[in-house]
Structure 1
Amino acid sequence: MTPVLKIAVVGPESTGKSTLSALLAAHYHTVWVPEYAREYCANLTEAPTIDDEVAMFYGQLKLEQEYLPRANKILICDTTFITVKIWSDAFFGHTPQVVLDELPRRPYDLYLLLDIDMPWQDDPLRDFPTRREHFMEIWHEELKALNANYVTISGLGEERGQAAIRAIDGFLKEKGAF
């Protein structure tokens, strides 16, 4: 059986991760894993705690495992638990050890880092409209620290989608996959 390739769609807030994940899943006739933290945080009545971050970490891992058997050779992941590290560091000044331990053990085959060239869309679950450049740099640092295979995706609308498809197709060709 051919292993499923995991493609992570990541980046700062309001960069179109969910929209692009759905588009890519449709294009490649597969499924996409939604961002667990979005639903989790929508149900909170207070600001997330460090324990909530750990719960979101485990929730994202569980969700990916649930979707994996339904994937058609590629699993598109709308964010990853690297987000837990980034938010934990931003809000609490540190990351839970369980997250740090698992980061190098759970790589994705390709990360698509979405650029901040899209206009900000207000959402009650988004926090940092004025710090997008800062978080873009953090994403670059985190992916480099993992020695991750990643491509920055820019552009608006269809242009962004086509750039992501080109990046994935190039990766698949390079890997000799499918």
Structure 2
Amino acid sequence: MEVSTIKKIAVVGPESTGKSTLSAQLAEHYNTVWVPEYAREYCAALTEPCSWQDEINMFHGQLKLEKELLPKANQLLICDTTFITVKIWSDYTFGKAPQEVLDELPKHTYDLYLLLDIDLPWQEDPLRDFPHLREHFMQVWHRELQSLEANYITISGSDLERLNNAINAINQYLNKY
């Protein structure tokens, strides 16, 4: 399949909203590949708090992983988060984001963003930090996607409802194009 015709679906949202689970389920449903969150593996290997350079490394790593998997996609490429996360975490942690991330944001778009709601219970995980800031980060995600004029929809519900709502959103998008 011509890489330029592959539609990119970004599964995004605050911590503990089921992004990785949903990404895998959607890839299976649509018989395609999904791009895992590069930052998860990267942060798991860190022995010190995440630095400014780590954020830049995660930005480049996410883009590289997406580029590697794009040719393997079957009509859709499902992306478990995007490097917008680097901007959000950098803004929160350091008060600003790396300029190369800001420069790339408007150029590196996705056809549809599925913003996962915070209506699932929090799941403890050593790589998750902010159970008390879920509403704050949900608002941040809305602002970031709106500032990009992104085509996005909020996906809510239990695990099965969430999957069905995501499939419906993707199918509606595909039927338009």
Question: Do the two structures share a fold, i.e. TM-score over 0.5?
Answer: yes
Pick the aligned partner of 1:132 from 131, 134, 139: 134
Q: Match of 1:70?
A: 72
Any runs of at least 4 consecutive aligned residues in structure 1 with deviations exceeding 6 A, and if so which? none
The residue number in structure 1 matching 2:113 is 111
1:153 aligns with 2:117: no
Matched with 2:123 is 121
- The answer to whether the aligner puts 1:20 opposite 2:22 as a matched pair is yes
Structure 2: state its 5+ residue gaps: none
Q: Distance in 1 between matches of 2:21 and 2:78?
A: 12
Report the TM-score when normalising by structure 2.
0.98
Q: Distance in 2 between matches of 1:160 and 1:103?
A: 27
- Quote the Cα distance in structure 1 between the aligned partners of 2:46 and 2:96: 21
Cα shift readout 1:24-76 (whole Å, capped 9, x = no counterpart): 00000000000000000000001100110000000000000010010001000
The match for 2:62 is 60
Deviation track 1:120-178 (CA, whole Å, cap 9, x = no partner) reads: 00000001000000000000000000000000000011111000000000000011xxx
Separation in 2, partners of 1:32, 1:91: 28
Query: Within 2, Cα distance between the matches of 1:144 and 1:152?
Result: 12
Residue 82 (structure 2) pairs with residue 80 (structure 1): yes
Alpha-carbon distance in 2 for matches of 1:95, 1:157: 32
The percent identity for this pair of structures is: 69
For the residues of structure 1 that align with 2:145 and 2:109, how far apart are their CA atoms?
A: 10
Offset of residue 3 of structure 1? 1.1
Aligned to 1:99: 101
- What's the TM-score once normalised by structure 1's chain length? 0.97
Q: CA RMSD in A?
A: 0.6
For the pair 1:32 / 2:34, whether they are aligned, the reply is yes
Q: Which residue, 9, 12, 15 being the options, matches 1:10? A: 12
Match of 2:105, SS state, is helix
Picking from 48, 51, 54, the partner of 1:49 is 51
Q: Which of 163, 166, 170 lines up with 2:165 in the alignment?
A: 163
Q: How many matched pairs?
A: 175
Letter in 1 for 2:27: A
Give deviations 1:92-120, integer Å, cap 9, x for gaps: 00000000000000000000000000000
